[in-house]
Amino acid sequence: MRLVLISGMSGSGKSVALNVLEDAGFFCVDNLPAPLLPQLVGHLREAGTSRVAVAVDVRSGKSMSALPPMMGVLRNGTQLQTLFLDARDDALIARFSETRRRHPLGDDETSLGEAIRHEREMLAPIVALGHRIDTSDLPSAVLRKWVRELVQIDETSGLTLMFESFGFKHGIPLDADLVFDVRCLPNPYYDTSLRPQTGCDQPVIDYLERSPEVLRMRDDIARFVRDWLPCYIKDSRSYLTVAIGCTGGQHRSVYMAQWLAEHFRSAARVLLRHRSLAASGK
């Protein structure tokens, strides 16, 4: 049986992720109390269900504390994949304000900000149990695409290496494991002919590759990842996200992430994300 476990902050997009899996043919259960997971899995296994997705979050209350020790049991006989959806506090507050929905931990005496802080404390023990996705600035369509890419990965076959470009002006992604800052490199933005283009476009690539500093940093980052990748694999990691940041997330970081993704495709399963481009619709 393949079991995808979804958790994360309220308002981070768990319903979107669960809908993607349901559309992909998974048997989906939302808001299941954590102690009932083994019973559900056992029942569905006997029924011949091969793909299951379950959302477990703070709506389960204190029973959430049972989830971390239970995951070792769930791995016996199942191919377990865990996704943790997260977002910055300001993004979560904006979403709740737009929908006018009440936070699961909110009441007449608790502000929305306080409820979010309390939720983070409750979820802290499980953040590192799965792959973390920062949905702060992501359109729903992009989140759906990323979830579809992730659930197609066979987790039993090793580590998935993700290269992610971003703009520092939007903040460092919450899901980054390693962060490299390339803002010191020559910026194509100041060439008016290159400004509307991205690091995926050949004129920008040519501009950057004419700079010895770009080539040196590119090779240094590749060497660092290559040298330490075996240690992350040995640590039984399922995912390693390498985030490359420049000012706006359009030129330098995009080029660097693209090049690194191609460079490592023969060494690991690679996924590529351009966070700022996705948020801007480019």
**Residue 216, pLDDT above cutoff 50:** yes
State how far the Cα of 35 lies from the Cα of 270, in Å rounded to an integer. Answer: 35
Q: Please tell me whether 57 is known to bind a ligand.
A: yes
Number of Cβ within 10 Å of residue 125's Cβ equals 12
Q: What is the mean pLDDT of residues 165-192?
A: 95
10 among annotated binding-site residues: yes
| pTM for this prediction | 0.74
63 marked among binding-site residues: no
- Token digits of residue 45: 């296994």
- From-to residues of CATH 3.40.50.300 in the chain: 2-151
Residue 114 pLDDT class (50, 70, 90 cuts): very high
Q: Which CATH number fits domain 2-151: 3.40.50.10700, 3.20.20.80, 3.40.50.300, 3.10.20.90?
A: 3.40.50.300
Please state the separation of Cα 131 from the chain's center in Å.
Answer: 6
- The answer to the question of whether 165 is labelled as a binding residue is no
pLDDT at 268: 83
Q: What is the mean pLDDT of residues 105-128?
A: 89
For 231-262, b where at least 16 C-beta lie within 10 A, e where not — what string? ebeeeebbbbbbbbbbbbbbbbbbbbbbbbbe
Residue 155: pLDDT over 70: no
15 annotated ligand binder: yes
Name 242's bridge partners.
163, 178
* 23 annotated binding-site participant: no
Q: What percent of the chain has pLDDT over 70?
A: 98
Are 55 and 41 within 8 A, CB to CB?
Answer: no
266 is in an annotated binding site: no
25 is in an annotated binding site: no
Residue 12 marked in a binding site: yes
Using 50, 70 and 90 to split pLDDT, how confident is the model at 258? very high
Residue 237 or 203, more confident: 203
